[in-house]
Amino acid sequence: MSAVLAAHGRALDAAPRAGVALLGLGTVGRAWLARLARLQQTGLARELQLRFLANSRGAARLARAADATPAVESLRSRSVRSEAWRELPPGSLIVDATASAEVAAEHAAWLDAGHAIVTANKLGRAGPIERHRHIERAAARYGDAATVGAGLPILESLRRLRAGGDRIVSIAGVLSGTLAWLLDGYDGTTAFGARVREAHARGYTEPDPRVDLSGEDVRRKLVVLARAAGFELEAHDVAIRPLIDDERGTRTLDEALVAAEPALAARAREATAVGEVLRYVARLDERGARIGLEALAPDDPLAGGRGCDNRVAIRSCRYAASALVIQGPGAGAEVTAAALIDDALRITGATA
Ligand SMILES: NC(=O)c1ccc[n+]([C@@H]2O[C@H](COP(=O)([O-])OP(=O)(O)OC[C@H]3O[C@@H](n4cnc5c(N)ncnc54)[C@H](OP(=O)(O)O)[C@@H]3O)[C@@H](O)[C@H]2O)c1
């Protein structure tokens, strides 16, 4: 073991053992459980002691980590909604692996009550500005790396630049791994709806894919990024052109796809004909905040990246002539679960 790893190991040994409460037993929650078990088998992350599990249908207190698997099965087989997720043990490290507005609405109160939170749920930081300010006051106990870029060091970079006296001038990004995957190689000759169904089956989409396709997921991410960059944006400040318009949730996914597909396919064929690529882009600059589909030249900083890659270009006073570009996989349960565990370890280490 290297000296650095050995020192890190000692720091973790010294950290207090945290009772962990996992909310959400879906794609991300179960990937989180599997990753924690793998890490603990190798002697890592031992301070994360799983003590509470919940979905929207019930909760279970655990005496031992080995009780987790049957508890997950039991909770997932229930059919009636329950508020048992609210009965958290005191002083928990809460892992929010839900997409629930109700859960996000509790983040500020939970921080006040002394809990720590790591979250994949964007609605904490992207909710009303007062909630964001409240969370900011307890930021040392709040991990949000999984909310944008599934753990890529985007939020961290913005915060470090600002802490070092830099000023963020603009942010442009491909922020949805799901939409990046859907548009990667799409030239209008194959059915877009079939791609959407495959992305859903692979666990790349939000629980309701309309949240991705309407641009709502990207809007939330741009709000989280903007606030980290020092701009106190509200969701309604973002001008949004949906990729697939579900008329504010009034159309089913299939209806929305059927209505949108001809125009989308034509746009893709036009872009392909002139050597451009389609990307769903979020921008924040002196012209405001906006998101929508764009046809980009192949050498555009946002045109690169494959599959689920996110790509973000940050301009600041320090990075004025040439943008700071961060790229990497920005969707998927594995990277998201890893980001949640990294944040949990940072928080337990920080409180040692
Ligand atoms: N999948 C990805 O690649 C990815 C990447 C980055 C971030 N994320 C984020 O991760 C979060 C989870 O995504 P997912 O794909 O795992 O969703 P999912 O498979 O639909 O799972 C959501 C889970 O949350 C539970 N839940 C809902 N309301 C709850 C409540 N009030 N209390 C406790 N549990 C509740 C659901 O329980 P029921 O089954 O009982 O309803 C379900 O177990 C989302 O915020 C998403 O944006 C996902």
Atom of ligand 1 minimally distant from the CA of 150:
6
| pTM, two decimal places | 0.92
CA dihedral over 53, 218, 247, 189, signed as positive or negative: negative
Best of 22, 27, 179 to mutate for ligand 1, by most ligand atoms within 8 A of CB? 27
Q: Which residues line ligand 1 (CB under 6 A)?
A: 23-29, 54-57, 85, 97-100, 102-103, 120-121, 146, 150, 203-204, 206-207, 331-333, 336
Q: What is the pLDDT of residues 33-64, one digit of tens each?
A: 999 999 999 999 999 999 999 999 999 999 98
pLDDT per residue of the chain (352 residues) written in tens, 0 to 9: 333 333 333 333 344 456 999 999 999 999 999 999 999 999 999 999 999 999 999 999 999 888 999 999 999 999 999 999 999 999 999 999 999 999 999 999 999 999 999 999 999 999 999 999 999 999 999 999 999 999 999 999 999 999 999 999 999 999 999 999 999 989 999 999 999 999 998 878 888 899 899 999 999 999 999 999 999 999 999 999 999 988 887 889 999 999 999 999 999 999 999 999 999 999 999 999 999 999 999 999 899 888 999 999 999 999 999 999 999 998 889 999 999 999 999 999 854 3
Distance CA 312, CA 314 (A): 6
With contact defined as beta carbons under 8 Å apart, do 291 and 222 qualify?
Answer: yes
With contact defined as beta carbons under 8 Å apart, do 103 and 21 qualify?
Answer: no
Tell me, in angstroms, the distance from the centre of ligand 1 to residue 104's CA.
12
Phi, psi torsion values for 265, nearest 5 degrees: -65, -40
Atom of ligand 1 minimally distant from the CA of 217:
47
pLDDT at position 17, please? 56
Tokens of 252: 């089913």
Q: Select from 338, 279, 284, 278 the least CA-distant residue to 311.
A: 279
Distance CA 220, CA 196 (A): 20
Tell me, in angstroms, the distance from the centre of ligand 1 to residue 207's CA.
7
Q: Which active-site residues does the annotation give? A: 221
Best of 22, 33, 56 to mutate for ligand 1, by most ligand atoms within 8 A of CB? 56
With contact defined as beta carbons under 8 Å apart, do 193 and 265 qualify?
Answer: no
